Structure formats: structure tokens, C-alpha cells
């Protein structure tokens, strides 16, 4: 829903929306102005609400001439990064050292302390996450890990022959500097061969962004599997950083494609497009385009022991997880 406030002498205005249970569900604060102007607030609401318009300064006058409400059914929103499920039943219990759940505003992940990398990273992608923030390139230790856990630093990948491969990509989170900076936390990284990270993997990332530009929203989850990759140093490498970081043999990804809307899980059907890939973590992976590595979700579940899309009804899971995508690729 788009709310437009017309002919407004805007000094410092806050529009706040509350659910029927009086929980705050959205708000938009404007900039300060002393002339007539128009303020617009975009919010995603699927239930009855009440809203409040108020000044945030005590002395100035607030003059409102008109308010309009417009409904847009295909409006993009930011949604729960784990809406489709928790495939490994990760928990926030620190003793669960190899399946430790970390839920950040930008993405969620299951961290494996024994491997020094995430088991998986899950995120939602729509045009609501996109903006013009520059790539921060500020790789950093994730200090939100329990102090007893191994915490990779920016130099942990130095001279290894492998890139610090983003799971949730930087370009999927460029709405703000804060969003982009979060993607450079080392808990979002997996060792990837340069040819995988910079050629084949990034080609699929770019394709995902063409889908959201066309009016879709995506739920994406990715990670690594197996042991031993081949980077720019040649040979097969199983661990880095004195054995603290494991190098996977392949990198996988699952993408759920939906048209923009609300109540996303309930809109997944037997015809929903699911793209799943499993790519070798080698310097020859780029000899084939990304779409040659498509597999079924069932195939990945058998490899990994995870239950993907667990929030989707079982009969729908059975239909969409057994097929290999043959949809468009550009």
C-alpha cells in the first residue's frame, strides 16, 4: 500500500502503522522542510491496521491538506530471510557448535565451528533490497560469534589460492551502507576457487538480479559440500588457516522464484520455479555455463542431509523438489 500526504507543511513528520494488537509494523520518517511538499510512505500491510501521524518536534506547526491511500498488489518488500524454513534445524544454543543459528537483518546462517564456514546462508531478495550504496569491501571478523568459536579474520584466506566467496552477495544488499557492510562479515564467506567465484557463480548471481528487476522476489539459500577444492595454487586443498577453515568440493544454491506479493510461503505451488545448482569448486568450472550445473532439490537433500523448503506443504515439496529446472537462463 502506498500512502501519499499532499500539500503538507513538513517540519518533522513521522507516519507510524500499528497492527490490531498495537504492535508497530512499519514507519517512515521524512526530512525536515519549511515549505509545502509531498510525503510518500510505502508499506507492506496484509491485515487491518491503524496509523498515526505526528510531529517529532514540539514547537513547529504541522499542516496537512489531504491524505490518499493506494493499493499496489505487486509492490516489492523485504521479507523474512528464512521464510522457507530452517533446513538443518540450526539453533542459537552456543553448545550447538556445528549448527549454530545466526539471524541478521540482511541474512541468516548456520555456522559450523569445526569447519570455520557456514553450513548454509539464507536470504530474501527483491527490489526492496536494492539501491545505490557502493561496495564496501570491508571484510571483517564476525564478533557476534560466541567467544569460544573460531572467528576467521580477513587474512585467513591469504595466499590460499581461494577467494573469500560471498554466499549472500554484496550486490544483493546495496540499499544502504549498513546492508552492504554486513555481507562482508567472514561468516558469510566460503573458500571458492577464483574461476568459480568470479565467473560461474557470479553469473548466476547476476541472473537472479534480472529476475527481481522483472518483478519477481526470490528466496535463496547456498553453501558448500564435500571436502577438497582446487584453487589458483593448483592441486587439491582440503583446509586453510592451519586447518581451521575447510575447503568444500562443491558449492550449491537453491532459488525459489515468486512474483512480488504477500504471504509468500502460501503462494508456493506445484508450478513454482525452483532453480538448484551444484558447482565444482575448481579452476575448470567456468568451462560450462552456470545452468549446466542444475540439479534437483532432492539431489541436494540427499547429499547434504538437509530438509529444504520445510515450511512449504509436503505435497508441494514433493512436486517441486524432484524436478530439475529447464527455465530461461538470461
Evaluate whether 122 touches 81 at the Cβ level (below 8 Å): yes
State the pLDDT confidence band at 256, using cuts at 50, 70 and 90: very high
What is the average pLDDT across 177-202? Answer: 98
Decide if pLDDT at 31 tops 70: no
Quote the pLDDT of residue 277. Answer: 98
Strands (E), 200-272: 216-225, 239-240, 245-246, 250-259
- Catalytic positions are 166
Number of neighbouring beta carbons within 10 Å of residue 37: 14
Lowest model confidence (mean pLDDT) among 69-73, 232-236, 239-243 = 69-73
Give the C-alpha separation, 225 to 223, whole Å: 7
- Calculate what percentage of the chain has a pLDDT beyond 90: 77
Within the chain, which residue ranges are assigned CATH 3.40.570.10? 100-321
Decide if pLDDT at 178 tops 50: yes
Quote the pLDDT of residue 8. Answer: 42
Quote the pLDDT of residue 5. Answer: 42
Q: For 100-321, which CATH superfamily applies?
A: Extracellular Endonuclease, subunit A (3.40.570.10)
State the pLDDT confidence band at 75, using cuts at 50, 70 and 90: confident
Q: What is the pTM of this model?
A: 0.80
Amino acid at each position: 500500500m502506498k500512502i501519499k500526504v499532499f500539500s503538507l507543511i513538513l517540519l518533522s513528520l513521522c507516519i507510524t502503522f500499528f497492527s490490531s494488537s498495537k504492535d508497530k509494523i512499519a514507519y517512515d520518517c521524512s526530512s525536515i522542510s519549511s515549505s509545502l511538499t509531498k510525503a510518500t510512505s510505502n508499506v507492506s500491510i496484509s491485515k487491518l491496521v491503524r496509523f498515526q501521524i505526528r510531529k517529532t518536534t514540539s514547537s513547529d506547526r504541522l499542516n496537512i491538506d489531504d491524505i490518499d491511500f493506494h493499493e499496489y498488489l505487486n509492490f516489492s518488500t523485504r521479507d523474512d530471510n528464512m521464510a522457507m524454513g530452517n533446513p538443518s534445524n540450526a539453533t542459537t544454543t552456543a553448545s550447538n557448535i556445528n549448527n549454530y543459528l545466526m539471524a541478521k537483518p540482511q541474512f541468516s546462517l548456520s555456522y559450523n565451528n569445526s569447519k570455520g564456514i557456514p553450513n548454509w546462508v539464507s536470504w530474501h531478495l527483491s527490489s526492496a533490497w536494492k539501491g545505490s550504496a557502493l561496495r564496501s569491501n570491508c571484510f571483517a571478523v564476525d564478533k557476534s560469534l560466541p567467544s569460544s568459536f573460531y572467528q576467521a579474520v580477513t587474512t585467513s584466506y591469504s595466499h590460499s589460492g581461494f577467494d573469500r566467496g560471498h554466499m549472500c552477495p554484496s550486490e544483493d544488499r546495496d540499499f544502504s551502507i549498513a546492508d552492504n557492510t554486513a555481507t562482508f562479515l567472514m561468516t558469510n564467506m566460503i573458500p571458492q576457487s577464483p574461476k568459480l567465484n568470479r565467473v560461474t557463480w557470479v553469473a548466476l548471481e547476476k541472473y537472479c538480479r534480472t529476475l527481481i528487476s522483472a518483478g519477481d522476489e526470490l528466496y535463496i539459500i547456498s553453501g558448500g559440500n564435500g571436502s577438497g577444492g582446487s584453487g589458483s595454487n593448483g592441486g587439491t586443498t582440503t583446509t586453510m588457516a592451519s586447518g581451521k577453515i575447510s575447503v568444500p568440493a562443491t558449492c550449491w544454491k537453491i532459488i525459489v522464484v515468486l512474483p512480488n506479493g504477500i504471504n509468500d510461503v502460501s503462494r508456493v505451488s506445484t508450478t513454482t520455479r525452483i532453480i538448484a545448482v551444484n558447482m565444482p569448486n575448481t579452476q575448470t568450472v567456468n568451462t560450462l555455463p552456470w545452468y549446466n550445473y542444475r540439479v534437483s532439490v532432492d539431489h541436494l537433500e540427499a547429499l547434504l542431509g538437509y530438509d529444504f523448503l520445510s515450511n512449504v506443504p509436503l505435497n508441494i515439496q514433493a512436486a517441486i523438489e524432484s524436478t530439475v529446472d529447464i527455465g530461461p537462463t538470461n
